[in-house]
Amino acid sequence: MVSAYPNAKIDEEVYIKQPTGFNDNSGMVCRLNKALYGLKQAARQWEQHLKNDLQQLDLYPLKTDPSVYISIKGEPLILITYIDDILAISPSKERI
C-alpha cells in the first residue's frame, strides 16, 4: 500500500524512539527525513508537498476552497483533493 504522508518531506527536526522490533538497546533515537502518519505536522507537510507539485503542473488552489485546484491553460482541469484522494474533472480524457 502506498501512503501519501510518507512522501512529504519534513521541514523541521523531529526525532522518534527506535521502532518496535528495531530497538538495538543503544538508547539512540531516529531523526525523520519524511513525515509519518501520527505526526502532528504530517497533514500540513503533505498538503504543502501536493500544492508544490500541482503548481508545477499549472494547477492552483481556489481562494474560496484550497482543496480544489484548477488549471485553465488548454483544456480546463479541476482537481478536488481530500487528504490523499484526488478527483480529476475535465472534458478531455487526455488532459486527466
Q: pLDDT tens across 44-63, in order?
A: 888 888 899 999 999 999 99
Per the CB < 8 A criterion, the answer to whether 14 and 39 are in contact is: yes
pLDDT at position 1:
44
What does the alpha-carbon distance between residue 45 and residue 50 come to, in Å, rounded to a whole number? Answer: 9
Q: Is the dihedral of CA 10, 40, 86, 58 positive or negative?
A: negative
Q: Is the dihedral of CA 29, 31, 34, 37 positive or negative?
A: positive
Q: pLDDT tens across 72-86, in order?
A: 888 899 999 987 789
Considering the entire predicted model, what is its pTM? 0.69
Query: What is the arithmetic mean of pLDDT over 20-40?
Result: 81
> How is residue 68 annotated by DSSP?
E
Per the CB < 8 A criterion, the answer to whether 46 and 8 are in contact is: yes
Q: If you average pLDDT over every residue of the chain, what do you get? A: 85
